[in-house]
A and B are shown apart, each in its own frame.
Chain A
Amino acid sequence: MNITRQEVEEFLYHEAELLDEWKMQEWADLFAKEGTYVIPPIGSPNADFKTALFLVHDDRARLEQRALRLLKKEAHVEFPHSKTTHNVSNVRIVSNEDGVVTVKANFVTYRAKRDFLDTYVGVNEYQLVQEEGELKILAKKVILNLEALRPQGKVSILL
């Protein structure tokens, strides 16, 4: 695929903006038809889903349900919506072959709700493809560089 790092960065900044503006359907639409969204266990980024307890392991249908759930008033943990700030940096193209671009990007995401500001840090690994002339996410893996989900307690937002 013919793509520059700057184009990848623009795509990732666009994704971050959609999330911070709670445009959840638009975020889900960034994913390819077979797209996946995964958060492996903290400390085991290459864990096997059959033997390890993940945090998130969504196929295309479930990631869209996850995104749209957040817009409902009954998704109590995110009502009223928390304020999030997704920062993306250190973007690098790891490989570009057979129509799949593999990208790594560091992230720092802040979530403010009631009296607390929680911080999530880590690396997002993307596989990007062209689908019907548009850049789409075939796979997004969120590697949390934490020791535990403490004191955040949860990943109720999209990272």
Chain B
Amino acid sequence: MGKYVREDKEKLSFKVNRQAFVSPEILETERDAIFSKCWLYIGHESELPNKGDFHRRKVGGRNLIFTRSQDGVIRAFYNSCPHRGALVTRENCGNSKVFRCFYHAWSFNNQGELVGMPDKAGFPNDHNCDGAKNLATVKRLENYRGFMFVNFDDNAVSLEEYLGNATEYLDLVADQAYAAEDPTLGMEVLTDPQQYSVRANWKLLGENSVDLYHGVPTHKTYFDIVATRGGTMEKDSLVGEGKDLGGGHAVMEYYSAWPRPVGKWIEGYGEEAKEVIEKNIERLEAKFGKERAHRIAKKNRNIWIFPNLIINDIMAITIRTFYPIEPGYIEVTGYALAPKAEGENFRQVRNDSFLEFLGPSGFATPDDNEALELCQEGFLNAKEVGWNDISKGMNREVPQATDEAQMRAFWRRWNELMLAEEAKREGKEAEGVNA
């Protein structure tokens, strides 16, 4: 019997040990097994349009500088002075040719090279001939259609191989650039991401982000409000599929009552937006044909890229990433993604559509976060009431979007990585004993 995950294909039962959400030891193992081995989202290439643009980012518990260097290449540096360790860049974002540590005034160009320091005479002439005093670079930084990821494991497989079947769904998001008049401008992330927190375990937010079963009970007030704007529940609303994409990635793809800026108009968007959306669909059909255009325009996608990236292409597109500070506390960053060439008036319609549901002051996300916090509270009983049930839809040939196949996909991969890490550690301990 698995100690974390118990899957019984005959009895159609899938259980997860609640210790996975509360144990500090499990979190410590996750930091190695998951956050030091997997590809982790750092940002979108559109956030660095110009040479010298930079963002300070925390990824996988590391402090990084995400920048477009003077040679035009996007790089990620560890934001820590090679001299005595201080954070080099303190601003959240900006444009700079030089990053300077204020402590002893060591300066680095935006390619990470040490270019200035006081009293050079106190060091040998060849003190940086091996580059050891340059800003350390995150060696693995890769881009899939604008979505940029880092990996702290130098031996990791390529990003594309890691994403595997999930690329099909990232394409359906990135291809929305073709809905706008000039698709060559691509997609862009809006400025000022929402930085918030949830007093709950990180895996709960992942589960919640691809969970359609909770939609109606948790978000009744949102559905009521959208209905006043013409977004009423229809026969196919919330109908669709939930899929295990392999590698821990998962998606649900389905129709909705809510509108979609790319291709589903409701009265509340206004008449001007109706014309824009009709044109969006025309352009998508011209580029991709009717079937794929329909899929991009009308269907919603909630994508969970293992371990901590969510891309929800719903009443707007949000990119959400999160990291555990404690078993019961996470830091979340939420971004908005949109076609860059979109008109200004329509962008306002899109952003209203986003804020109505999404974000820490939307009409829905705060209720989600409340649910996660109540789960975390409920896990105080983990010793006596020890297991989560994630078996919905195991009795169906094709799991529906409102089933829980998406979560099972995550947990299977999580379990694999955790058990492998524990086996590795036990092996090392045994070696230690023998020696």
Contact = CB atoms under 8 A, between A and B. Distances in A.
A54 B360 CA distance: 10
Interface residues of A, number: 36
A99 interface: no
A41 to B, nearest CB: 3
B189 to A, nearest CB: 9
Nearest to A148: B195
B59 interface: no
Contact of B197 (A57, A149, A156): A149
A113 B103 CA distance: 42
B355 A43 contact: no
B377 A114 contact: yes
B7 interface: no
Interface stretch (A6-14, A22-30, A65-73): A65-73
Interface stretch (B346-354, B402-410, B417-425): B346-354
A53 B199 contact: no
Given A47-B191, A50-B344, A50-B347, A153 B369 contact: yes
B70 to A, nearest CB: 25
8 contacts: A43-B192, A53-B193, A53-B336, A56-B355, A148-B195, A150-B196, A152-B196, A155-B366
Contacts of A148: 195-197, 331
Interface stretch (A74-82, A87-95, A121-129, A132-140): A74-82
B218 interface: yes
A56 B196 contact: no
B322 to A, nearest CB: 12
Nearest to B336: A53
Nearest to A72: B221
Contact of A77 (B195, B351, B366, B377): B366
Given A65-B225, A69-B225, A76-B218, A52 B192 contact: yes
B298 to A, nearest CB: 25
Nearest to B196: A149
Interface of A: 39, 41-44, 47, 49-57, 62, 65-66, 69, 72, 74-77, 114, 116, 147-156
A74 B218 CA distance: 7
A134 B371 CA distance: 41
B220 interface: yes
Contacts of B347: 50-51
Contact of A154 (B190, B352, B369): B369
B54 to A, nearest CB: 16
| 7 tightest Cβ-Cβ pairs between the two chains A and B | A41-B192, A148-B195, A149-B196, A77-B370, A155-B361, A154-B360, A150-B197
A23 B69 CA distance: 54
A156 B221 CA distance: 13
Contacts of A57: 351-352, 355
Most buried by B among A44, A74, A116: A74
Given A49-B351, A151-B329, A156 B356 contact: no
Nearest to B229: A61
Nearest to A150: B197
A153 B197 contact: yes
Interface centre among B355, B356, B377 (most CB of A within 10 A): B355
B34 to A, nearest CB: 22
Contacts of B191: 41, 44, 47, 51-53
A153 B333 CA distance: 11
A116 B199 contact: yes
A50 B360 contact: no
